Amino acid sequence: MPAISAPAIRARLQARDATVGIIGLGYVGLPLAIAAARAGYTVVGFDLDESKITRLAAGDSYIEAVTSDALGEQRSSGRFTASSDMTGLAACDVVIICVPTPLTKQREPDLSFVEQTARTIAQYRKPGAVVVLESTTWPWTTETVVKDILEAAGGKSGVDFFLGFSPEREDPGNQSFRTVTIPKIVSGDGADALSLVQEFYGNVVERVVPVSSPRVAEAVKITENIFRAVNIALVNELKVIYDAMDIDVWEVIDAAATKPFGFMPFYPGPGLGGHCIPIDPFYLTWKAREYGVPTRFIELAGEINVSMPRHVIGRLEQELDRRHSRSLGSSRVLILGLAYKKNVPDIRESPSFALMDLLKHRGTRFEYHDPHVPVVPHTREHEQYFGLQSVPLTAAALADYDAVLVATDHDGIDYGLVASHAKLIVDTRNAFARRNLATGNVAKA
């Protein structure tokens, strides 16, 4: 079947007469699917997880950024359906890849999800389809890995299909920005591809920002996440230094943030979480080795951030011994917060799991409380905690723990109750001081 010309595809995109396939219905893919459906496109969401397909078919959203009402509206209109049958890609004019890009146990890039998805697209691709990678990865992935797989199956980029990269910029829990209001970086493998990618996203989001090539767009996303990782590592290191000097790092940062120029506040914590910041910098350090370029600054930031859970557990051990003459191994600890950031149920790469591993290794008995994560779901890295349930937060329960370790500062937690009844609180988020609850049983870490 002959390829469809770029002008013909553009006309279909402009008329909203195009079918959009989105592969991967997680924190990135599902909000994008609903946004594209609202823009008037017919959208098919693909995912191999049958439990997701079942829930979506029932109108039950599992992503906070997409309400069940919003999902139901697009399902009722017929503009959104979900499927695990990848043969449906043959009907899609636009195919967007939103699959995970994790690290291996050796902390090297794992592109297996992207590669398998690209092979699936190559098998069922519609002639002239626009294929866009959104998964964060190292520069040149789109123009080498994805392009090579698609061309190896037959066809040429820019003629038989049009390839682009547009990095996701989702921020779970951020009420100030939604998928459609976050400026969208767009790129294409050639002028026609860029034009088509820009046309599609321009119809879905409020602002698109075109760049010259997919590798530039990939570098933009990596740079955004490295910027955060490095600055968080800096304040984490300052926390350790200032703690030794009996200086409150949170007070220092808040005071410094009053400067109207030249300073941007970042805050320390028990480690990094989320899919982006703990992982993405290592995609660049790995790729840089191919060019013989050292990445000492980025790798040092990674080392500091990875070391934070051990620092926190060390602080907990010190406070248990100093205040109550208790050993860590004989203590019972409540971890407050399992999600990687406040007010979301997202547990990807959460430092709470690292804290749990360290406590388990020391023989410490522990439970967790998180109003957003009632039960630990299946995870690739922490399957041993599957099924663990959040415990109720009551005065009697709090009094039974030797310490409460604040890992995530959800707004929905009754910190006054914790302050009144916990024997010892180790606060990694400054949650109690920010609420003027800095009582004598709180130690910052």
- What number is the average pLDDT over the span 415-427? 97
Q: Is the pLDDT of residue 1 over 60?
A: no
245 lies in some domain: no
8 has a pLDDT exceeding 80: yes
Predicted TM-score (pTM) of the model is: 0.91
Written as six digits, the tokens of 374 are 């009632």
Other C-beta atoms lying within 10 Å of the C-beta of residue 327: 14
Taking residues 199-227, report their average pLDDT: 97
* Annotated catalytic residue within 97, 197, 208, 276: 276
Say if residue 416's pLDDT is above 70.
Answer: yes
Identify which of 22, 37, 17, 23 has the alpha carbon closest to the alpha carbon of residue 180: 37
Mean local confidence (pLDDT), 36-42: 98
At 319-360, the pLDDT tens digits run 999 999 999 999 999 999 999 999 999 998 899 999 999 999
Q: Has residue 263 got a pLDDT over 90? A: yes
Q: How many CA atoms lie less than 13 Å away from 168 in the CB half-sphere?
A: 27
All residues at 6 or more sequence positions from 161 whose CB lies less than 8 Å from its CB, including other chains: 3, 125, 127, 128, 129, 130, 131, 150, 155
Q: Is residue 340 part of a domain?
A: yes
**Does residue 276 carry a pLDDT above 90?**
no
Q: What is the CA radius of gyration of the chain?
A: 24
Looking at residue 170, what is its pLDDT? Answer: 84
- Residue 229 near residue 219, CB atoms below 8 Å: no
**Strands in 90-201 per DSSP E:** 94-97, 130-133, 162-165, 184-188
Predicted confidence (pLDDT) at residue 3 exceeds the cutoff of 90: no
243 part of a folded domain:
no
- 354-406: per-residue pLDDT in tens? 999 999 999 999 999 999 999 999 888 889 999 999 999 999 999 999 999 99
| Shared domain check, 276 and 196 | no
Q: Which of 430, 9, 358 is nearest to 192 (CA)?
A: 9
Q: Name the β-bridge partners of 332.
A: 365
Q: Are strands 162-165 and 184-188 parallel, antiparallel or unpaired?
A: antiparallel
Same domain, 154 and 287: no
CB 170 within 8 A of CB 31: yes
Same-domain pairing of 205 and 337: no
Let me know if 203 is exposed, middle or buried by CB neighbors in 10 A (0-12, 13-18, 19+): middle
Q: How far is residue 150 from each of residues 3, 67, 214, measured CA to CA in Å?
A: 14, 35, 16
Average pLDDT, the chain: 95
Supply the pLDDT for residue 104.
85
Domain identity same for 281 and 199: no
The distance of Cα 143 from the centroid of its chain, to the nearest Å, equals 24
Same domain for 16 and 146?
Answer: yes
Q: Is the pLDDT of residue 2 over 60?
A: no
Statement to judge: residues 306 and 435 lie in one domain? yes
182, 211, 240 - which closes a domain: 211
The question of whether 276 is a catalytic residue gets the answer yes
CATH code of residue 143: 3.40.50.720
Tell me if 365 is assigned to some domain: yes
Q: Which domain holds residue 88?
A: 6-211
Question: Do 187 and 286 lie in a common domain?
Answer: no
Q: Does residue 241 sit within a domain?
A: no
| H or E element, residue 103 | none
Q: Is residue 233 part of a domain?
A: no
**197 and 281 together in one domain:** no
Residues 79 and 161 in one domain: yes
**Which pLDDT value is given to residue 379?**
87
Q: Say whether both 154 and 70 belong to one domain.
A: yes
Mean pLDDT is highest, among 20-34, 95-109, 172-186, for 20-34
Which pLDDT value is given to residue 363? Answer: 96
What is the DSSP secondary-structure string of 54-89?
Answer: HHHHTT---STTS-HHHHHHHHHHTSEEEES-GGGG
**Number of structural domains, the chain?**
2
Domain presence at residue 354:
yes
Is there a single domain that holds both residue 336 and residue 422? yes
